[in-house]
Amino acid sequence: MSRIKEFNLPDLGEGLTEGEILAWLVKVGDVIELNQPIVEVETAKAAVEIPAKWAGQVRAIFHPEGSTVEVGTPIISIDTDPGAGPIEESTTGAPADALPTPSAASLAAVEVAPAEGAVEPGLIGGPAPGGRTAVLVGYGPRTTAAKRRPRKGGVPAQASAPAAPVVQAPAAPVAAPAPVAPAPAPSNGNGRVGGPVLAKPPVRKLAKDLGVDLGALTGSGPLGSITREDVQRAATAPAAAEPLTVAAPTAVAASFGADREQRIPVKGVRRLTAENMSRSAFTAPHVTEFLTVDVTRAMKALDRLRGRREWRDVRVSPLLLVAKAVLLAVKRHPMVNSTWAGDEIVVKDYVNLGIAAATERGLIVPNIKDAGRLSLRELADAMTDLVQTAKTGKTSPADMSGGTLTITNVGVFGVDTGTPILPPGESAILAFGAVREMPWVHKGKVKPRQVTTLGLSFDHRIIDGELGSKFLRDIGDFLSDPEAALLAWT
């Protein structure tokens, strides 16, 4: 059995077909252990460290960082018995057990991420098939040697091989430009081009003193001669060239080209988000309702909770109470936690609560599995772990799969609310806006109160206006008075 083992990029779940190599954690010659992380790969959902399948010594790395590789493509080779001595050389000089070069099919499946500032294939200045540079038709590099045009009456030059029709477009506009009429010379004042200017000596002295170019004037005197009046008019008239000198730099400043643009490859999390949002927006008929709520009592309840001994080391935020309100409202309206399946609606007895998180790689929605069964303390711990893992970019694909209902906390950006788009397969998503101190009518008087706005988007195929309104109202009732809601509903 060969000592050299090829390690193929594995399927990391959810039917993923490719991944981008973010960083190699080993290098050629390193001795590695079984299950030691060897490479960090970004899939369409998250960045994942992949462990080694064998212990041994790294012999070759097939693809550099930044490459996008299809699942099943060899990415590294490992010598599983480096202590057995050097690998025998074959008659061709290559090691007998050497790893075969990746096939053309596997190399064709690799898409190397473009370097910063590089031009994409197919654009002007970018790579083209055959190793050429993509240029305008007729202005590309020649594929034949340069030759002189045969002289008139001389022996014709030896014809060379015909050039490719795409690269060698007709060069008539360059080789034989159309005759251009010469620009007319400035008028000399007597109606003849190129002749002397007709002006008396006192007129010439006046023009010199006033800085007037006689060659640029058209005379009004006899035989087109220039008079004193012509010179004085030219001296007092506004300069015609000034607007032209001002317009030239303006035209340059208003230019818009590729040097002032940035092209960002759409891949990984960003591509998955775009595909999911487009599919959801044009598949599920969205309806969004809004509710403004006085959450002053909820904020005071959080303060009392933070003051308890057993909660002092727990991250407590308004989002925790919003999540608890959603879970309790789902129990009262289970149809909200369902999925449209074409010929049937699947109502789920478990709630995998998604929390939208903005990361450096884009928007991800990890979820807390079976969140409805957790106590408030367990829910707080689960949300803290979820957020910290997302910020480090280590959220696994499993944590982002199977969500049933989602909360997006747009309030952290200072936004009042929004009209969120449903994650595919879910029937409702709640936007939680910023909590602000605002004037509010409380017990018949206008007082400053803590107020927020909720936005609920839902799939109108499953949730009608009545059900959506009741669900949103229950969330608002809990946030208005958490203690009373708990006593009434549990």
The total of other beta-carbon atoms located within 10 Å of residue 343's CB is: 5
330: buried, middle or exposed (CB in 10 Å: 19+, 13-18, 0-12)?
buried
Q: Out of 286, 333, 442, 460, which one is annotated catalytic?
A: 460
Tell me the backbone φ, ψ of residue 447, rounded to 5 degrees.
Answer: -135, 155
- In order of 234, 240, 252, the CA distances from 243 in angstroms are 17, 7, 15
Which amino acid belongs to residue 393?
Answer: G
What's the first-to-final CA gap in the chain, in angstroms? 65
Among candidate residues 417, 416, 419, 431, the one with its CA nearest the CA of residue 319: 431
Provide Rg for the chain, Cα atoms.
38
Q: Taking a C-beta distance cutoff of 8 angstroms, is the pair 401, 424 a contact? A: no
Residue of 115, 42, 45, 39 whose CA lies nearest to 74: 39
Task: Give the β-pairing of 286-294 and 445-459.
Answer: antiparallel
Task: Tell me if 168 sits within 8 A of 143, measured CB to CB.
Answer: yes
The residues pairing with 69 across neighbouring beta strands, listed in sequence order, are: 19
Distances (CA, A) of 52 to 7, 55, 75, 79, 107: 8, 7, 12, 12, 22
Is 460 assigned a catalytic role? Answer: yes
On the 0-12 / 13-18 / 19+ scale of CB atoms within 10 A, 201 is: exposed
Catalytic positions are 460
